Structure 1
Amino acid sequence: MATATPQSSLSFPRETFAKLSPHPYLLANLQPSAKNVSSTRANGRTPNQFRTPHINNGSLTHAEGSAVVRVGDTTVVCGIRGELLLASNVPNYRSDKATTAPSARPGYNEAKELDLLVPNIELATGCNPSYMPGQPPSVLAQSLSTRIYSLLHTSRMVESEDLRIWYQPPDLSEGDKMDDDDEESEEMEPEIKAWWTLYIDILFISLDGNPFDAAWAAVVSALRDVKLPKATWDPEREVIVCEDEVEKARKLTLKGCPVAVTALVFRKDQLKGREGKSWILIDPDTFEEGLCDETVTVTVDCTWRKTKLLGISKSGGTIVGMEEIKEIVSSAEERWYELSKLLGG
């Protein structure tokens, strides 16, 4: 007599469960039923674990500086090209002497006032299923450009002196001595004839979460790769002349090495407030970003052997307080020592 074989239970792959019930799926990973199983995320990382970064400089031939940054499945290409801005083309810029120019005033941010650093972010077709071809610039691309622009100027990483092109007038007083020595010395002061404007183009060719951290790392790495041609003012033709020799090109003197770290807050019960259990997820991916409504980004710089907090931005939620901020800053310090080796900081 034949025995009936038991019917196999219906089972689905992990990816199917993640799509059908994303919140319970992530919660089951962070809060496993077995006590001997550690808390992990759906991607296998611990809550405070970063993805491995990969950085390659000088990938673009026709750019003053470039970098390719890959963090997990998020890949960013940054190219920086330099263009000249003549002082004669700047409206109301009349004081061109070294001691009377606006740049001589304390606290004057020349790069910001003259828009010498111009970032632009583009999300390439195919980088993420959410971005279709033929669409206008997305809200994400515009907000990222604004945040990159703000951090470039608040960090003061690019020295304005590196962007200036000076001209020293010849000394004509030998043949015709002047009676007033002060007036003579004033005429012989160097003049700013032009500035370098850096156009920072950032292209996402793959996007799997945490776009700001990857974009900022690409910007810092590309700025460290920039080599500007030697430029001088030709008084006879009244033009800027750039040297072709690569040996005469100079690198930027960057101040510090800022690193940005983003974290999300995942709540066990989305309907509860601060009293519910929650987890801080460092360096989130796209799957985690869709399940969290509170985001914190901190920017630190440990170049001078102490942590310099350059900025904290927070959006949504009510869970993150002082203790959570300290935890994120501590993770950012660890990330800085890892990334600074790749960025050359």
Structure 2
Amino acid sequence: MNNKNRIAITLGDPSGIGPEVIIKALNILFPDRNNLPIIIGDTKTLEKTSKSLGIDFQFQIIENLKSFDNKEKSIKVLDNNKYLNIEFNVGKNSIEAGNASHEWVELATDLAISNDVDAICTAPINKESWQMSGFKDIGHQEIFKRKTKASYVATMLVSGKLRCMHLSTHLSLSEACKYVTKENVERAIKLTHKHFSMWGFKNPKIGVAALNPHASDGGLIGDTEDKEILPAVLACKEEGINVSGPYPADSIFYDAINDKHDVVVVMYHDQGHIPIKVYGFEESISVNLGVPFIRTSVDHGTAFDIAGKNIADPTSMIEAIKLAQNLSQNSKL
């Protein structure tokens, strides 16, 4: 892989499978060990993981990016040695792991905002460990929104040709349904159009999923489509955006896979996550829209049940790193 841009990978929760999938992915993507990405995290965890996997990597601790030299065939680890004497228990939640993984995401965000890195790629964090550590952030997205002061940050999942842009993610189903308003749907469509245009799509085809079964069946099963979603679609069409819908959620993803839509705007978390993971579970990755930098991520959790067993599949991390590189070079999704 020709990694000319500066990509920073966060280690994620050191007690999960993040370190393992990172090492495996880099070993596959960079067999010649040239131009390796930066890792933000704990060096001793990486060394231990690399040794356990039997993968030969050299690690070089750097205190800041001013001391960064990518000519040497080693992985540069941005590590302040704060956790040098802390043992992270594999497969278990802890305050220490929560503090560390949260700190690394904060640092990566700061570096991305200041343009010191071209993109960030994140390994999975554990929300419970963050809560144990006293953080109010539910996940990465909340940190990005807070630090960038963005009015709206959204998550899109990608698996092959299927792409799902989520109107909302970390809301209960009852709250997610209330969030489906003309204003919010219109904002999501416009944000999707903006990013896809930036990513090389000419006149991107945006399909919008309905909230209710059968797209409400003419008002027989709810009225959200007529009152909120359709008016948003029509308003965006008037501005020249190539958008259509709302379509029943049981058919729109089939149409997207068959090239009718470049991306589907979905109304809530599971409406987008389920088709993505059924279509290509291992290959699925996450991308954020609405932030002034590129962020990709694996689309899986810390998997404490298999952490430390060296059986984690690195495919999602491989795809996330590749997409971070592609987008940082203004390539098409």
TM-score range, shorter chain: under 0.3
Q: Which has the higher contact order (CA 8 A, sep 6+)?
A: 2
Q: Normalising by structure 1, report the TM-score.
A: 0.19
Q: Normalising by structure 2, report the TM-score.
A: 0.20
Give the helix-richer structure, 1 or 2.
Answer: 2
Give the strand-richer structure, 1 or 2.
Answer: 1
- Higher Cα radius of gyration: 1
